[in-house]
């Protein structure tokens, strides 16, 4: 396509959009249910470890490739792969990213659809039979229709473009989300009986840390929550100018993402324990929070109506800014790879992803398997590919990462060595333990 590439209007606009990508259902819904499933604080500690030692380096790798190439993932990898070992075969990694984007947005929209519905229902008040209710609305035509509504809004924003769509929405949505999350966490702190929730959330039972499954889950969660391993951050960075300080930005984005996840735990666990609903989430599954929280809100009377509404609004807002970034990966691939104009790419790709969501909307098992495949295979595998690419293939990554930062290089030398050695070793270990089980879960569907 002729003409110059779209740009963010401001540095803050980019950071808000990237934080908006990272902060979403992953922080609130997935983080809480994974933490509940894995026994509380030990999981949180592991997840924090992955965020710092693996997430931040890969975040900076994506920012560096994206800004340096000024291209969407497939072309970006082709750009830096040229004349290097592997050459244009590196494009394949970009193709995997776009595929991952398709898979994730398709089921992400379905979960976002549930939250949208719950925000509306909170206003009239949740019934006490929330368990049965979730069973009724989580699958089938109902689930699909709310998914369609959510996707239509997502498509409309992406269609408007980087600065007048994505950036404008993020600049409003992120501060609003933060106010909501802090407000609800403060409200939860006033509840009698909530302290058992804090104890559960914050006292580590480190016996759990050594279970392979918990480690694998923490790794997948770190990638998902930070939007890493599928080119979302890379794509956003491709609209950046060269005077941005990428190392600093990667720290800010990761810290904000962890901060919101941590706050989400401070809302969810006291709410659930105060109403004595912890049984609902032990051995937690995808739907647990959608059962336990409405029950909790229903038990709080009028206050529950208001807080429940605000809680699900926060979820919808977070989901929206994340879904935008997922769709943008696919849409930018259509623009750069197929030469389509943005509006056309947004609509064609958006409608295709929405239609694909039917599989998850009609079968919650499919949704769960897609989530497992996306996180444990695609994102972790994509992260491994990125680490190897920047660590061993790309020319002068330190120079590129340092542009606009210009600080001491020692941190970047550490960064590059993490990408070369520690990150690949850890991710290969994770894949080694997760791939067989993930493939089995796919086979079980048939
Ligand atoms: N990070 C988003 C969340 O936490 C999900 C996401 C994953 C977005 C991958 C983009 C890419 O909800």
Percent of residues, the chain, with pLDDT higher than 70: 98
Who's near 308: CB < 8 A, 6+ residues apart? 118, 122, 126, 293, 294, 297, 300
Number of domains in the chain: 1
Q: Give the pLDDT of residue 137.
A: 92
Q: Which two tokens stand for residue 234?
A: 């890379």
Q: Is residue 8 in some structural domain? A: no
Q: Is residue 312 in some structural domain? A: yes
Q: Which ligand 1 atom sits closest to the C-alpha of 323?
A: 8
**Ligand 1 mean position to 223 CA, how many Å?**
8
Q: Give the pLDDT of residue 393.
A: 97
- Tell which residue, 394, 349, 337, has the closest CA to residue 75: 337
Q: How far apart are CA 289 and CA 296, in angstroms?
A: 10
pLDDT for residue 432 is more than 70 = yes
Mean pLDDT for the stretch of residues 282-291: 78
Q: What digits encode the pLDDT tens for the residues 31-65?
A: 998 888 887 888 999 999 999 999 999 999 999 99
Question: pLDDT band at residue 1, thresholds of 50, 70 and 90?
Answer: very low
Residue whose pair of structure tokens reads 């950046």 in the numeric block: 240
Q: What digits encode the pLDDT tens for the residues 352-377?
A: 999 999 999 999 999 999 999 999 99
**Ligand 1 mean position to 276 CA, how many Å?**
31
pLDDT for residue 233 is more than 60 = yes
Q: What is the pTM of this model?
A: 0.96
- Closest residue to atom 7 of ligand 1, CA basis: 227
Q: Is residue 267 in some structural domain? A: yes
pLDDT for residue 2 is more than 50 = no
Pick from 16-30, 278-292, 354-368: least confident = 278-292
| Residue-number span of the structural domain to which 366 is assigned | 20-445
- Closest residue to atom 11 of ligand 1, CA basis: 227
Each residue of 399-410: b (16+ CB within 10 Å) or e? ebbbebbeeeee
**Ligand 1 mean position to 107 CA, how many Å?**
12
Mean pLDDT for the stretch of residues 146-157: 98
Assess contact for 378 and 99: CB atoms under 8 A.
Answer: yes
Question: pLDDT band at residue 3, thresholds of 50, 70 and 90?
Answer: low
pLDDT for residue 227 is more than 50 = yes
pLDDT for residue 206 is more than 90 = no
Q: Give the pLDDT of residue 406.
A: 82
Q: How far apart are CA 122 and CA 280, in angstroms?
A: 19
Q: Rounded mean pLDDT of the chain?
A: 94
Q: Where does 226-357 have alpha helices with state H? A: 232-237, 246-274, 278-281, 288-298, 301-338, 342-356
Burial of 383 (0-12, 13-18, 19+ CB in 10 A): buried
pLDDT for residue 269 is more than 90 = yes
Q: Is residue 302 in some structural domain? A: yes
**Ligand 1 mean position to 302 CA, how many Å?**
33
Distance from the first to the final alpha carbon of the chain: 43
Who's near 409: CB < 8 A, 6+ residues apart? 398, 402
**Ligand 1 mean position to 246 CA, how many Å?**
20
Q: Is residue 46 in some structural domain? A: yes
Q: What digits encode the pLDDT tens for the residues 158-198?
A: 999 999 999 999 999 999 999 999 999 999 999 999 999 99
Q: What digits encode the pLDDT tens for the residues 376-431?
A: 999 999 999 999 999 999 999 999 999 999 878 999 999 999 999 999 999 999 99
Q: Give the pLDDT of residue 287.
A: 84
- Closest residue to atom 6 of ligand 1, CA basis: 227
Question: pLDDT band at residue 130, thresholds of 50, 70 and 90?
Answer: confident
Pocket of ligand 1 (CB under 6 A): 21-22, 24-27, 104, 224-225, 227, 230, 232, 322, 325-326
Q: Give the pLDDT of residue 297.
A: 92
Who's near 367: CB < 8 A, 6+ residues apart? 107, 110, 111, 286, 360
Which among 322, 328, 374, 382 is the best mutation to test ligand 1's pocket, defined by most ligand atoms within 8 Å of the CB? 322
Q: Is residue 240 in some structural domain? A: yes
* CATH number of the structural domain spanning residue 57: 1.20.1740
Q: Is residue 13 in some structural domain? A: no
The alpha carbon of residue 122 and the mean position of all alpha carbons in its chain are separated, in whole angstroms, by 25
Largest CA distance in the chain: 66
Q: How many helices (H) and strands (E) does the chain have?
A: 24, 0
Q: Give the pLDDT of residue 301.
A: 87
Q: Is residue 116 in some structural domain? A: yes
């Amino acid at each position: 396509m002729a003409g110059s590439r779209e740009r963010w209007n401001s540095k803050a606009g980019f950071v808000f959009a990237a934080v908006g990508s990272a902060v979403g259902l992953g922080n609130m819904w997935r983080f809480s249910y994974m933490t509940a499933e894995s026994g509380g604080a030990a999981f949180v500690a592991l997840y924090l470890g992955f965020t710092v030692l693996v997430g931040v380096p890969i975040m900076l790798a994506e920012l560096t490739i994206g800004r340096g190439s000024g291209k969407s993932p497939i072309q970006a990898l082709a750009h830096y792969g040229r004349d290097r070992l592997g050459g244009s075969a590196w494009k394949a990694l970009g193709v995997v990213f776009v595929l991952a984007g398709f898979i994730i947005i398709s089921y992400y929209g379905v979960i976002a659809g549930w939250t949208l519905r719950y925000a509306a229902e909170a206003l009239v008040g949740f019934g006490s039979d929330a368990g049965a209710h979730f069973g009724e609305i989580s699958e089938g035509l109902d689930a699909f229709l709310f998914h369609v509504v959510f996707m239509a809004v997502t498509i409309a924003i992406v269609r408007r473009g980087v600065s007048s769509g994505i950036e404008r929405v993020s600049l409003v949505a992120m501060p609003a989300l933060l106010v909501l999350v802090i407000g609800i966490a403060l409200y939860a702190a006033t509840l009698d009986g909530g302290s058992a929730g804090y104890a559960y959330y914050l006292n580590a039972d480190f016996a759990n840390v050594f279970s392979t499954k918990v480690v694998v889950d923490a790794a997948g969660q770190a990638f998902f929550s930070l939007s890493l391993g599928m080119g979302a951050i890379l794509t956003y960075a491709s609209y950046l100018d060269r005077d941005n300080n990428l190392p600093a930005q990667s720290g800010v984005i990761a810290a904000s993402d962890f901060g919101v996840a941590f706050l989400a735990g401070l809302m969810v666990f006291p709410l659930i324990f105060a109403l004595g609903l912890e049984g609902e989430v032990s051995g937690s599954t995808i739907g647990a929070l959608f059962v336990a929280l409405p029950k909790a809100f229903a038990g709080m009377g009028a206050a529950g109506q208001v807080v429940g509404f605000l809680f699900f609004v926060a979820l919808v807002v977070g989901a929206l800014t994340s879904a935008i970034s997922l769709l943008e990966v696919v849409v930018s691939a259509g623009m750069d790879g197929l030469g389509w104009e943005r509006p056309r790419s947004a609509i064609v790709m958006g409608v295709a992803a929405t239609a694909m969501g039917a599989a998850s909307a009609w079968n919650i098992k499919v949704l769960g398997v897609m989530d497992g495949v996306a996180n444990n295979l695609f994102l972790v595998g994509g992260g491994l590919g990125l680490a190897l690419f920047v660590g061993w293939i790309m020319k002068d990554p330190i120079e590129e990462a340092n542009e606009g930062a210009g600080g001491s290089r020692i941190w970047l030398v550490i960064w590059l060595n993490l990408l070369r050695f520690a990150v690949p070793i850890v991710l290969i270990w994770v894949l080694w333990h997760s791939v067989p089980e993930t493939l089995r879960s796919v086979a079980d569907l048939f």
